Chain A
Amino acid sequence: MAKTLTRSAASSSGFGVDAEGAKRLLSDMLLIRRFEEKAAEAYALGKIGGFLHLYIGEEAVAVGATSVLRPDDYAISAYREHGHCLAKGSDPKRVMAELHGRRDGLSKGKGGSMHLFDRSTNFLGGHAIVGAHLPIAVGVAFAIKYRGGDQVIVCYFGDGAVPEGEFHEAMNLAALWKLPVIFLCENNRYAMGTSVERALAQTEIWKFGQTYGVPSEKVDGMDVLAVRDAVGRAVARTRQEKIPALIEADTYRYRGHSMRDPAGAVYRTKEEVEREKLRDPIVLFRDKILSAGLLSEADIRAIEKDVNDRIDEAVAFADASPEPPGEWLFTDIYKEA
């Protein structure tokens, strides 16, 4: 899933990807969508506990961004991170097992929905204190530069992190030290129930980048190709020039903030949600590639079946995975020498 799609390969299609690339983008977005739907179901069945924040509606951001990263690039996210983790290449079986709190989960069942980590894909978590992972992303970029490497790190965060001091500290340090970090803000318009208008004096989040001298832009976060294009340019520049970037992706979550806010109806209207569903990133992209003739209906049905199978397999795997043994309570607190 983390395989890089080169822009040159897509040039013939006219919108950035060839058939194989389009299939991958669609497949990845569908996988996340299906994964989240099944997670919601498992939550309703009591198999998943705690907080569960679904990414449904925002899939184009993670998939579009990841599609221009190398496997050795890093990604880090907040607590609505299932999509980012899956897009970066983690095995859905192990992600689902983690949500189920089972021993075969990515974090051995100790992290849960909000703390997915995968060293094998350079996915650095799953951080659930809003804003805290932005300086950490800067630190990873610091290490990349310290070692003279050419990787980048993509740091996903929501509009809710922007009023946090750490957003500004991180932006300042990354710009000051010229570090290869791409701040990718998923502006889904609500920090839990607080709209950006109620939280920010400057609602055009990308403009904060200008303050710090960081190349910034806003992109349609429901258009996977637009995301891919914007992040692709930022990655190339960052890799080359070792400077950070800020991208604001205009997106929307169709579900509530968490499963405890299933309707999300207090702070926004049903009409608004329905209106936003008209630009469902998966529907839009499917229509686009069908009309462009990149993939057929049959191709798409095959993709859907494959995705459904993989997710069913993931759920079965999670169900079958044993609970972590009691003694694991005390393992991994410290790394032993």
Chain B
Amino acid sequence: MAVTKVVMPKLSDAMEGGKIIKWLKKEGDRINGGDILAEVETDKADVEMEAFGAGVLRKILVPAGESAPIGALIGVIAEPGDDIAALVASAPAGVGAAPPPRPAAVTPSAPVAPVARPAAVVSAPAAFPAGPGQGAQAGRVKASPLAKKIAAQSGVDLRLIQGSGPGGRIIRRDVEAAGSGTAAAMPVAVPAAVSGAEFEDVPLTQIRAAIARRMPLSKAPVPHFYVTSEVAMDPAWELREQLNALEGQPKISVNDLVIRACALALLKHPGVNASLQGDAIRVYHRAHIGIAVALDDGLITPVLRDCHAKPLAQIAVEARDLVERARHRKLRAQELSGATFSISNLGMFDVAEFSAIINPPEGAILAVGSVRRVPVVDDTGLGVGRRMLLTISCDHRVMDGAMGARFLQDVKRLLEEPLRLLV
């Protein structure tokens, strides 16, 4: 009987690697072709992995909870008499498909005893492919020639980047988004799960790993400054209720109003709709707004394109669709990139205000707090009004405080005179 290699399958176009959630068969089990061997978590979804050969599952090389790049050997199906020693030996050493040594501070080793800072413990496989030497296909970083060139020039480690091109290929925009070399060179790995009486190490999910990788790429090299403004939301609130009372019309959320207001303000303040590109500032003519969506295991930011050209109702429909699909992990790769500006809204969590980290290479992000009923004083005396705090985080390399303030002023004015959002 033929020996069948079980490899990490490519289950989606953008997939670079996957994590074994659990093995549904154990070593020694008899396998028929088509049997479901394991459940695999990819960056997009959880998928069942089927067997492509028959025999006995002789060896599991990547246990549950571990990740492996596409194509990596994760198990062997063979008849009991078949010699699989050479094949098993050809698999990368250590638990699962360990990558070859990383530059800087990464030492492959056996699982380490529990320590207080699990992030420093690096022994398990990374979710992303490593350099050569790991099997023909498995370890190859797929990147466009241009992406490789830019990465080499800017010192970006391609192994740490998620590609947005076909088949997960890293293309120019991904490298540029990864920012400058110092941050990108920081090792990132998924620690092995370690548990004890006093604490529990929870392995990073794919999304959390991506966030962990990307956020330092922003905060360290991008000098942030923050501007906060309070918006009187009473007219907007009232307008929204009127709109939502209309039959056959899409439901409008506060966030939709904010998106619309930002889109219009960005058109007027293109300097905020901009990003640093090497030695130039790229000013975008169109407003593609990233909408941060909280998931149970992290945050993703789908992009609503051409917001400046879309009426409020369309924004509402499309934003709802994006958020829904984000929650169900049904976004296409290209819907996750290309934003020129982002909005993060924690209003539903009764947050008065906060500041957000810029998602590079964007130049700014707006943090939206809850609409709160607060005592207000106006000409007629003391009353109760709806107020919302907006904080914009700006890349100081791209713009100055006044620019951010003027932009915010316009957002405020648009929201306070909300009929402007309808015209």
Q: Is there any pair of Cβ atoms, one from A and one from B, under 8 angstroms apart in the complex?
A: no
Residues of chain B whose beta carbon lies under 8 Å from any beta carbon of chain A: none
